[in-house]
Amino acid sequence: MSYPPPHYEGDIGVVSATFRSGTQPADLSYGGRNIHYLATGRSTGGAFGLYRWNFGPDESGPGPHFHRVMSESFFVLEGTVSLYDGERWREGRAGDFLHVPPGGVHAFRNVIGAPASILLLFTPGAPREAYFETLAELAAGRELGEQEACTASELVHVV
């Protein structure tokens, strides 16, 4: 495999880095969960999206599903998170990693009853923020309209 074509053609580097402090509050909080939008598809020019997902102590997480457009990777930072690799559930602990290419069946859950934290990496950088925010609204009692439910099913295909 070779490197892709350059994205930058300049003769000298530029100051363009983005720093986010670890003390910055979560971008979204609900039901004991805290989600940090570390790098969105918008901020990376569509290259990737990176999110820190801090679970609360309650059981939570999606059931088995797949994505047609993007890969999803999980890196366990702390605690224990159940990761489904398409064949079986694995108990992911700090340092464990799971990569799922497009079309790969997967799921993740906090079932231990203790706080846990993971990094979620999506490639390419699909706009996941609206999905996360809709989850928060649904947890608060909002119901999806028929058109929204159809759109949601196009983005996440439940197995």
Per-residue pLDDT tens over the stretch 89-120: 999 999 999 999 999 999 999 887 788 999 99
pLDDT for the residue numbered 140: 79
Does a structural domain hold residue 73? yes
Domain that holds residue 127: 28-158
Is it the case that residue 10 has pLDDT exceeding 80? yes
Cα distances from 128 to residues 35, 38, 61, 70, in angstroms, run 11, 12, 15, 11
The total number of structural domains that make up the chain: 1
Q: What is the CATH number of the domain that holds 61?
A: 2.60.120.10
pTM of the model: 0.85
Of the candidates 57, 58, 52, 46, the one whose C-alpha atom is nearest the C-alpha of residue 75 is 52
Q: Which residues contact 69 (CB under 8 A, 6 or more apart)?
A: 102, 124, 126
pLDDT tens, residue by residue, 16-52: 999 999 999 999 999 889 999 999 999 999 999 999 9
Does a structural domain hold residue 89? yes
Does a structural domain hold residue 59? yes
Alpha carbon distance 65, 110 (integer Å):
16
Average pLDDT, the chain: 88
